[in-house]
Structure 1
Amino acid sequence: MTNFYPAVKSVSYKFSIASFLLFCIIFQHITANAQSKYELNKGWKCAPINNVKEKGTGISRAGYNTNAWMPAVVPGTVLTSLIAENKMPDPFYGMNNEQIPDIYKTGRDYYTYWFVKDFKEGVPQNGSQVYLNFRGVNYSCDVFLNGHKLNDKPHSGMFLRQSYNITKWMAKDGNNRVAVIVYPPDVVGNPNGGQGGDGTIARNVGIQYTAGWDWIQPIKDRNTGIWDKVTIEKTGAVRIKNPHIVTLVPGVRQADGPQQPAIIQVSAELENATNLPVTGELRYSLDNTPVSKKVTIKANSTLTVQLNDYSLKNPKLWWPNGYGAQPLYSMHLQFITGVNKISDQQDIQVGVRQITTEWNARTESRQININGQKIFIKGGNWIISDEMLRFSDARYDAEVRFHRDMNLNLIRVWGGALIERPEFYEACDKYGMLVFQDMWGSGDCNGRWTDPMKLDDQWTRRKYPDDHGLYLKSIEDQVKLVRNYPSLAIWCGGNEITPPEDILAALRDTIMPRLDDTRWFIPYSNSEEMSRNVLGGNGDGPYGIQPLSTFWAHKTYPFNSEVGSVGVSDYESLKRFIPVKNMVLPEYDEATGKTKTDSVWDYHKYIGYDGFIDKYGKPKNVEDFAAKAQLVNYDQYRGLIEGFSSHMWDWYTGTIIWKTQNPWTAMRGQMYDYYLDPNACLYGLRSGSEPLHIMYDPTDGMVMVANNTFKTHANMMLVAKTYDMDGKEKILTQVFSDVTPATVKRYLSLKKTIDDLARDKGVFLCLQLLNTDKKIISENIYWVPDEKGEYSGLQKMAQGSLNSTAKYLGDDKVEVTLTNSGNGPLAFFNRLSLVNTNSKQRVLPAFYSDNYVSVLPGETRKVIIDYKNVSKLNLSVSVAGWNVSEKIIQISK
């Protein structure tokens, strides 16, 4: 997919994105069977419709001159092409987005464009076939090849794939040209500041957020363009379409050890494009065992073939992150003709697992089981990787890896966006992330609430989209596209609302039973089929910054699909998109509870931290503000996930954070910024989400251990100790401990002791679990405020002594060792950054085994940094903490 990112008026950004672009190019995934299928992803040109007078039949002939046309980004949108050619400014920087004309004012023709691509491919011989495939065009189009129109009527729908048999239209000299006229969405919507603007964007079968939301500004071309892959596919007379792999894993399984057999079920559509019947064999091999069936496909027809069930002996099972490994089997699916010739083939990665659900009577919510074991859901809400649909395998891999690193096990793909691309699912398979996949629709646009910002009334909006037939046809197509991925766990009818009744009935009663009947389908994201609170209903929230007690002591929805907080990144991140003149501190008025912010901060959707940052001392400037925001970020998300985990299987079966990433330079709800630079949210969540985790309830002082694994952990040593601001240690308790699987075990309350010790200046509470080798297997350091709720001691803390060294463990891996000499205070909250030695700019993306690390007196901590040094830079490591001055460490060989 396209590896393109906008240029930003910041030296640091230009460098980091250049590095990441190389990373994307080098690791770009090529579809299997490259000799028979390839992408048309370079050399496209485009021109606005008003500049082109010729018809498509003429434009698609090789003789038509396109020298004056603009280079185009495909896959991509009109706007990505204009930005690439510096015709439009980078909308992610400052207020630049306001300089881009909006389609609502310009009219649809302004963003209606022709796209042309020349490619070489010879005329097929001996009954072979050639297909031109489009995986996504927004919104409608006509397609021409070598002077011929390929579609009888305009193709409509953002999410409906197209495939054209172009065998008879191929140029005899091998020089071919495809021309596509792409029209914007039929209804572009008025971006009036509402959720989805005036809501009419939802009349299309497409993305709703493009007219703006409370976390994003409008995308001015509404994502018009050839936004997904274009491929040429060569086959024999018969091609394989839409294979379907089902794995059944009966019983309750463990993550390791010998396994009873699993059942593998395989089917596929076989399309015969010739005028004669074709006899052959559909077959595959799994774990070196062949399975096959001989069939005859009639002329010009498609046949669905179901192969016999296969019993896979001692299978290697796929598990969600934190519960086990994610092995994948390679399945080589082929159609072989009678003369033992391969007509078509597909390589499929198969994860062997079974998903079931049941109603948990104690929590009053749905419980998800994988391979018979209950899984406590710790998830993040995902919008999309990039608002302008500039997707790449490398970026997908990095973002999903960040979710793995947060110790999450599920990603919910929000309904105002899209059914995610196969490459996203491949990354989720790799990293063990279950996927909760919404279909297109949201209560905000589709009429759940009365809304003065909307053009139509609720009754009218409730019928969106306009074309129900197109919606259902698109759903069928997209289900077939992604149903084979083991990570896909849940289908959902829409965000906070069901689709219209006829669509819902077709999904629930016909489409899903026929196309994908092994997964949980829920009608909408906070449905009562998902959970019920004590009042009998369901919902989501709370949102925004909260006192930590909210997460621990106040029961919310038992399977909460959206709960979240703040997420401003640090100063280095802010500099990438906020001009210097707009680096203005937010001003919080405690009396009114309102925050005054700079216009650029407002435009990028800043939400306030209220008085939480001031507890660390009034920030001096934006850099100080952003540094203190990281302390709040870490504490908020650690507290959020700990609070939910403390009540797992009692109050809750799962929770999903709103939200963990942004598709542009927004300032809320993110664990890493758009440029893939993580902030402290990620590491607070990583700590609180450990599969085996020791934690402290600030409301009653209870020390407890959450065991989110299938194993009993016995003979552990539980240690609780405090450190004052000078580094003096006090042991509170040290006791042997054990905890059974999928359990939260409560040990003892330390509230009175902690309150007494923290009264004047605050105190550090360190909780540890040690194994029988006396190795720390879980460590959790809290900074507890004074009796006024202020961090007065932190504000006067003495400088810490931290010795830092770094060495290479390989070409793309660095080990950093942090040692506190033990003669002074705790070395608190240290941010590690892998940097370019010359520019001092961060290398992005980089993955840290931990960050924002606190090192106890006398303790040594090691952090591993993974990265791709594609530019062969001279690298160093920066270490800077709350009471540790920044140091640049050279990396030894």
Structure 2
Amino acid sequence: MKKLFLTLATLLTSALGFAQQPYELNSGWKCAPVGKVAVKGTELSNPSYSLADWQPATVPGTVLTTMLNNKQIPDPFYGINNQHIPDIYQTGRDYYTYWFVKDFKEEAQAGEQVWLQFRGINYSCDVFLNGKKLTDKPHTGMFLRKTFNITPYLKKSSPNRLAVIVYPPDPVGNPNGGQGGDGTIAKNVSHQYVAGWDWIQPIRDRNTGIWDKVLIEKTGAVQLKNPHVVTLVPGTRMPDGPQKPATIKVSTELENPTASRIEGTVQYTLEGSKVSKKVSIPAKSSLTVDLPALTLQNPKLWWPYGYGKQHLYPVTIQFVTGTRVSDEEKIQVGVREIQTEWNATTRSKQVSVNGQKIFIKGGNWIISDAMLRFSPERYDAEIRFHRDMHLNLIRIWGGAITERPEFYEACDRYGLLVMQDFWGSGDCNGRWVDPAKLEDQWTRRKYPDDHSLFLESAADQVKMIRNHASLAIWCGGNEITLPSDIMLPLRDSLLPALDGTRWFIDYSNSDDMSFNSLGGNGDGPYGIQPITQFWSFKTWPFNSEVGSVGVGDIQSLERFIPKENLVAPQYSKGKSQVDSVWQYHKYIGYDQYIDPYGKAKDTRDFGRKAQLVNYDQYRALMEGFSSHMWEWYTGTIIWKTQNPWTALRGQMYDYYLDPNACLYGLHNGSEPLHVMYNPADSMVMLANNTFQTHRDLMLVVKLYDMKGKETLITQVFSEIGPSTARPYLSVAKALAKAAKEDGVFLSLRLLNLNKEIVSDNLYWLPNEKGTYSGLQQLNTVDVQATAKQVGQGKIEVTLRNDARNPVAFFNRLSLVQSQTKQRILPTFYSDNYISVLPGEQKTVTLEYTPSSENKPLVSLEGWNVTERFIAIQ
């Protein structure tokens, strides 16, 4: 019976064909610096050559990552450790030039082809397999994938040896301060931040290494690659209800490496409809096949977060010969269409999805990890945080990379549109005079050195990510256009041929995106601002970069600042006094905005008060822009929402994935249906970032003094139309009287006809002198707190405040390990830094990935609530 089963399994496999999912070569690598290797690659790649004295290597990874994992360098993200790691500019390139070697078992059966794929190497390499050199010249370019057909070189019934020598960028750039050091790193088709920026210290090896996946794929005679799916959704759609048809267009590349012509069929099935086309591929050639268009009836559409669901169709595209599948590609298809048009009122572009205009609430993204240590889990966590901030777009900044497919998969799931920059910046590429730069503006304006490589790399990366529903906008570069012989072919030839469905912006603050009538660079400011500024000062109508502070609390700071350097910044007479380690980690000043809460007594107190400022800053930023949607603005993109290094600025969560109050200020201020207070004119407003008219909303406006006494200002039914913001009433007189001595709490709520809260917003307002004297004297309250497990990795925490108490203000919930009391990261909170009004309760949901280490606890700490730990029932 066992033999019969094996025979049937073999026959079934033969009938299905050769196609298999590629697998990674991601363990068992060894490495050595080039200076310690005396033999050539042809000898080194012979499996008989001994690697006994070689060290383990991290692949995917960089040389520095391998050195860190082998404990040869200290953690460059902690303290000033990075300062003690040799920089490649001083050591020379050979110091970080490394051999990477991997032994693996694989052989080709009759009719099979085996492919070796590199998804990213920085910066150039030569590749050897079993004594054979596969590269006739070094493969070059950080953003250029490379595939080798290794079928003829594989050994039968014995291990194969792959050897790769990786060379750093050339030049590596002098990290002499400023943005991108001396700028020469931009002579490469590579990322620029590695020479240092205003949010990071230099990466000492410039991220040299096999930084992305190495894959083995087995196919039949023909390889199917770079499929392209275009979805057309005509007309104006709504997220719910029956849909008119959409059109699906699919094409793909086919490669036949054999000496014979191959006949076969390209096919895929979507929602039960099969589309196919017979093709003939000449020997040793490639061709692109366009399949017949499919009319998809009543499609389930993909929408940005906050507007509708993110439906994704699984599609497998195959090349079949007879009854055998030679190769296949599996993709997730989101049916949607991106449109743009010029808004004559704002004088900026507005973005539409499926015919509906979307007010852009975005965040600038650098990279997930500055040393390129990527994982699907970290991507998922970071994109989920952006979803939880109620944002709908992420911009990938041009000094970094083309983000990885796993990043885009997370954006597809969570509904984040993506604006993807190509590789350039105004800082390195010559927009401004900069005495730190080695070469003049005219020379830098021509960077990179190899324009053909740039275009070849751009074409390859477009093919890699173009099928993702989340990808919405291409951008030529950060704050400057690319050289004309790059930008014009990119815009006029390459993108129309390889994509043709997305808006292309020539550079990130271009007049094509946003007419910058105020002059200047067209973005910023980047520092802390009076919150009235966000409401009353008209900035650029689609601001690609505007942002502020982002220091975490003491638990965050302790992760990367040595104890002796945990000294709170001091601000006096217009100047800040800041510890040297804080400066090394690019601290940006809170200036006079801490003192109204009382001068910080120590670092713990500073971090605590910084969270109040964080929350207020980012709530006001998004509320201020939303209050003028379609009148002043079509969107804004925060600079920036995350740090891939332990920097002390512009982040909603720290490098270790611990959120701070910035995240929850945005979570509040960006919610799709929102009630808000304009501090510039004391108007209560509603903002509706949905496609529906919301009727029968009870608007409730109340004041609470510092003892908890409630005063009703108004309670009135309201409504608001789709995608709009409007003022309702002024509370200036009531606030002037109530807040005069000690400040006051302003509670704004929207309730539906079932008396359920649909928007809840609590402001703490200063006294007439601009200080929070009442908060400083707020009585301590003893809230009732319970926590219960409601599912795998899901906890509900309820806080109850007695009616006789004042407001239980600004409570931070944390999930912690029961023994160490350290936070479990990442944990996702439905809300945080919450306040509970007298006589009320609030419930917050926590989600995390459970482990068997120990039973967690919930930590509670508030402004006037004593810290405690809550057992989970």
In the alignment, the residues of structure 1 paired with residue 71 and residue 109 of structure 2 have an alpha-carbon distance, to the nearest angstrom, of 44
Q: Give the structure-2-normalised TM-score.
A: 0.97
Alignment partner for residue 587 of structure 2, among 600, 603, 606? 606
| Counterpart mapping for 1:565-584 below 5 A | 565-584=548-567
Q: Does 1:459 align with 2:442?
A: yes
Equivalent position amino acid for 1:565 in 2: S
8 A contact 2:653–2:660 mirrored in 1: yes
Structure 1 runs of 4+ off > 6 angstroms? none
Alignment partner for residue 769 of structure 1, among 750, 769, 775? 750
Alignment partner for residue 883 of structure 1, among 853, 856, 864? 864
SS at match of 1:789: coil
Query: Counterpart in 1 of 2:242?
Result: 258
In the alignment, the residues of structure 1 paired with residue 521 and residue 590 of structure 2 have an alpha-carbon distance, to the nearest angstrom, of 27
In the alignment, the residues of structure 1 paired with residue 563 and residue 521 of structure 2 have an alpha-carbon distance, to the nearest angstrom, of 45
Q: Does 1:50 align with 2:35?
A: yes
Cα deviation, 1:863-892, whole Å, max 9, x if unaligned, reads 000100134530110111000001100000
In the alignment, the residues of structure 2 paired with residue 871 and residue 484 of structure 1 have an alpha-carbon distance, to the nearest angstrom, of 39
Cα deviation, 1:753-785, whole Å, max 9, x if unaligned, reads 112211100000000000000111001000000
Q: How much does 1:800 deviate?
A: 1.8
| Counterpart mapping for 1:35-184 below 5 A | 35-122=20-107, 124-184=108-168
Q: Does 1:787 align with 2:772?
A: no
8 A contact 1:415–1:495 mirrored in 2: yes
8 A contact 1:528–1:538 mirrored in 2: no
Equivalent position amino acid for 2:660 in 1: N
Q: How much does 1:126 deviate?
A: 2.4
In the alignment, the residues of structure 1 paired with residue 568 and residue 460 of structure 2 have an alpha-carbon distance, to the nearest angstrom, of 49
In the alignment, the residues of structure 1 paired with residue 717 and residue 282 of structure 2 have an alpha-carbon distance, to the nearest angstrom, of 72
Structure 1: runs of 5 or more not aligned: 1-32
In the alignment, the residues of structure 2 paired with residue 610 and residue 36 of structure 1 have an alpha-carbon distance, to the nearest angstrom, of 55
Cα deviation, 1:778-807, whole Å, max 9, x if unaligned, reads 010000000111001000010123110000
Q: Does 1:713 align with 2:698?
A: no
8 A contact 1:532–1:538 mirrored in 2: no
Query: Counterpart in 2 of 1:426?
Result: 409
SS at match of 2:35: helix
Query: Counterpart in 1 of 2:671?
Result: 690
Q: Does 1:738 align with 2:719?
A: yes
In the alignment, the residues of structure 2 paired with residue 694 and residue 34 of structure 1 have an alpha-carbon distance, to the nearest angstrom, of 54
Query: Counterpart in 1 of 2:538?
Result: 555
Query: Counterpart in 2 of 1:831?
Result: 812
SS at match of 1:611: helix
SS at match of 2:666: helix
Q: Does 1:216 align with 2:197?
A: no
8 A contact 1:504–1:523 mirrored in 2: yes
Q: Does 1:759 align with 2:743?
A: no
Query: Counterpart in 1 of 2:484?
Result: 501
Equivalent position amino acid for 1:674 in 2: Y
| Counterpart mapping for 1:654-673 below 5 A | 654-673=635-654
Cα deviation, 1:341-371, whole Å, max 9, x if unaligned, reads 0100111100000000000011110000000
Q: Does 1:197 align with 2:181?
A: yes
Cα deviation, 1:703-746, whole Å, max 9, x if unaligned, reads 01000001111011000000000000000011110001001121
8 A contact 2:19–2:219 mirrored in 1: no
SS at match of 2:68: helix
Q: How much does 1:533 deviate?
A: 3.7
8 A contact 2:19–2:326 mirrored in 1: no
Alignment partner for residue 447 of structure 1, among 430, 449, 452? 430
Alignment partner for residue 313 of structure 1, among 291, 297, 302? 297
Question: Is the alpha carbon distance of 1:595 and 1:536 closer, same or farther for their aligned partners in structure 2, counting shifts above 3 Å?
Answer: closer
Task: Provide the alpha-carbon RMSD of the alignment.
Answer: 0.9
| Counterpart mapping for 1:471-510 below 5 A | 471-510=454-493
Q: Does 1:407 align with 2:390?
A: yes
Moved more, 102-111 or 737-746: 737-746
Query: Counterpart in 2 of 1:701?
Result: 682
Moved more, 48-57 or 869-878: 869-878
Alignment partner for residue 707 of structure 2, among 726, 729, 732? 726
Q: How much does 1:332 deviate?
A: 1.1
Equivalent position amino acid for 1:322 in 2: G
Equivalent position amino acid for 2:589 in 1: G
8 A contact 1:538–1:557 mirrored in 2: no
Cα deviation, 1:210-244, whole Å, max 9, x if unaligned, reads 00000000000000000000000100000111100
Q: How much does 1:811 deviate?
A: 1.7
Number of corresponding residues: 856
In the alignment, the residues of structure 2 paired with residue 765 and residue 211 of structure 1 have an alpha-carbon distance, to the nearest angstrom, of 47
Q: How much does 1:535 deviate?
A: 4.7
Q: How much does 1:537 deviate?
A: 7.7
In the alignment, the residues of structure 1 paired with residue 221 and residue 19 of structure 2 have an alpha-carbon distance, to the nearest angstrom, of 18
Query: Counterpart in 2 of 1:243?
Result: 227
| Counterpart mapping for 1:376-391 below 5 A | 376-391=359-374
Query: Counterpart in 1 of 2:607?
Result: 626
Q: How much does 1:538 deviate?
A: 6.5
SS at match of 1:50: helix
Q: How much does 1:36 deviate?
A: 3.9
In the alignment, the residues of structure 2 paired with residue 275 and residue 331 of structure 1 have an alpha-carbon distance, to the nearest angstrom, of 31
Query: Counterpart in 1 of 2:258?
Result: 274
In the alignment, the residues of structure 2 paired with residue 817 and residue 87 of structure 1 have an alpha-carbon distance, to the nearest angstrom, of 47
8 A contact 1:548–1:698 mirrored in 2: yes
Q: How much does 1:249 deviate?
A: 0.1
Equivalent position amino acid for 1:689 in 2: S
8 A contact 2:423–2:476 mirrored in 1: yes
In the alignment, the residues of structure 1 paired with residue 723 and residue 491 of structure 2 have an alpha-carbon distance, to the nearest angstrom, of 32
8 A contact 1:849–1:864 mirrored in 2: yes
Equivalent position amino acid for 1:559 in 2: F
In the alignment, the residues of structure 2 paired with residue 46 and residue 34 of structure 1 have an alpha-carbon distance, to the nearest angstrom, of 32
8 A contact 1:240–1:345 mirrored in 2: yes
8 A contact 1:527–1:538 mirrored in 2: no
In the alignment, the residues of structure 2 paired with residue 762 and residue 288 of structure 1 have an alpha-carbon distance, to the nearest angstrom, of 63
Query: Counterpart in 1 of 2:5?
Result: none
In the alignment, the residues of structure 1 paired with residue 672 and residue 215 of structure 2 have an alpha-carbon distance, to the nearest angstrom, of 42
Question: Is the alpha carbon distance of 1:59 and 1:545 closer, same or farther for their aligned partners in structure 2, counting shifts above 3 Å?
Answer: same
Query: Counterpart in 2 of 1:543?
Result: 526
Q: Give the structure-1-normalised TM-score.
A: 0.95
Percentage of identical aligned residues: 67
In the alignment, the residues of structure 1 paired with residue 508 and residue 827 of structure 2 have an alpha-carbon distance, to the nearest angstrom, of 33
SS at match of 1:718: strand
Moved more, 578-587 or 488-497: 578-587
In the alignment, the residues of structure 1 paired with residue 121 and residue 59 of structure 2 have an alpha-carbon distance, to the nearest angstrom, of 10
In the alignment, the residues of structure 2 paired with residue 153 and residue 755 of structure 1 have an alpha-carbon distance, to the nearest angstrom, of 75
Q: Does 1:228 align with 2:209?
A: no
Query: Counterpart in 2 of 1:23?
Result: none
8 A contact 2:275–2:292 mirrored in 1: yes
8 A contact 2:746–2:765 mirrored in 1: yes
Moved more, 453-462 or 799-808: 799-808
8 A contact 2:19–2:218 mirrored in 1: no
In the alignment, the residues of structure 2 paired with residue 237 and residue 538 of structure 1 have an alpha-carbon distance, to the nearest angstrom, of 54
Query: Counterpart in 2 of 1:11?
Result: none
